[in-house]
Structure 1
Amino acid sequence: MNKQHYNLLLADDDEDDCAFFKEALDELSLPVSLAVVNDGVQLMDYLAANSSDNLPDMLFLDLNMPRKNGHECLKEIKEIADLHSLPVIIFSTSLDTEIVDLMYKKGATYYIRKPGEFSMLKKVIGNALNVVSENKLKQPVREHFVLQP
């Protein structure tokens, strides 16, 4: 994924989290564009509409969303041939080991616990973009699945 510009997609129903994510990207001054959807149904509609020619380079996926949660979306994404290779970074407030293990088994690329501090959010987003790019979009071994700021 050695590109000059990255198209990111954030699926999150929390308006504050979306605003902080956008602000963090702006402050990082990275060559990215960001699209945002607010629930799982919107996410799957967005991916279906863009699957042939305009898929995002990475999806940041919240687990707790209305209408269709992140668990359901990840399962569907991994079952659709055109979306199977889309890097999915779980972006959640929870760091429950069972949930992290389940997301790993279901094929998420990385897992990020939403940090409480803005400076840490900037660090972890920057880290995610670097690691996913360097790792050629492949899921790491389980010990490196959870990204830290």
Structure 2
Amino acid sequence: MKEDYVHIILADDDEDDRMFFTEAFEELKIGTKVETFKDGLYLMDYLNSSDSALPHVLFLDLNMPRKNGLECLSEIKANPKFNDIAIAIYSTSASEEDIEKTFVQGANIYIKKPSSFKVLKKVLSEVVTTNWQYHTNGLNKDNFLLRL
């Protein structure tokens, strides 16, 4: 049986960012199921539990306490169980170093957190409607950073 929704997870320690993220999907009216985690440790506990439903798209904040986004990305990429998860880095940082590191470690896309709710909805809509199986074949640094 095929699922009729896109399962999305956001790991972000900022409560406001988690709330805006969830609200944006509610307003978009795309069939999604959104779950949020307040840090990388909770995220990895969830992903590694045997009965967890793996997301189609995982949004990872880089700067989180206890376990940051880069540490999560490394763990996820090291485990074949997670090969089908598209990973979107979702950060306030736009530093070339962060973008380079996450690209090299295998994230699918890098999104600088938008400053307006309207732009957030546009970005999320774009990410969720991308066919990642196709997109990752031609992954290069030019299409890695989502600029809207």
With the length of structure 1 as denominator, give the TM-score of the two structures.
0.91
Q: Offset of 1:136 from its aligned partner?
A: 3.2
Partner of 2:35: 35
Structure 1: state its 5+ residue gaps: none
Give me the whole-angstrom Cα distance separating, in 1, the residues matched to 2:145 and 2:61: 14
Structure 2: state its 5+ residue gaps: none
Aligned partner of 2:136: which letter?
K
- 8 Å contact kept, 1:87–1:137: no
Q: Are residues 1:48 and 2:87 paired? A: no
- 8 Å contact kept, 2:88–2:108: yes
Q: Offset of 1:4 from its aligned partner?
A: 2.8
Q: Offset of 1:61 from its aligned partner?
A: 0.4
Aligned partner of 1:102: which letter?
K
Q: Offset of 1:138 from its aligned partner?
A: 1.8
- 8 Å contact kept, 2:61–2:90: yes
3-state SS in 1 of match to 2:82: coil
With the length of structure 2 as denominator, give the TM-score of the two structures.
0.91
Q: Please report the RMSD computed on the Cα atoms of aligned residues, expressed in angstroms.
A: 1.8
Render the CA deviation track for 1:54-75: whole Å, top value 9, x for unaligned: 2111100000111000011100
Give me the whole-angstrom Cα distance separating, in 2, the residues matched to 1:130 and 1:87: 12
Partner of 1:112: 111
Q: Offset of 1:41 from its aligned partner?
A: 0.6
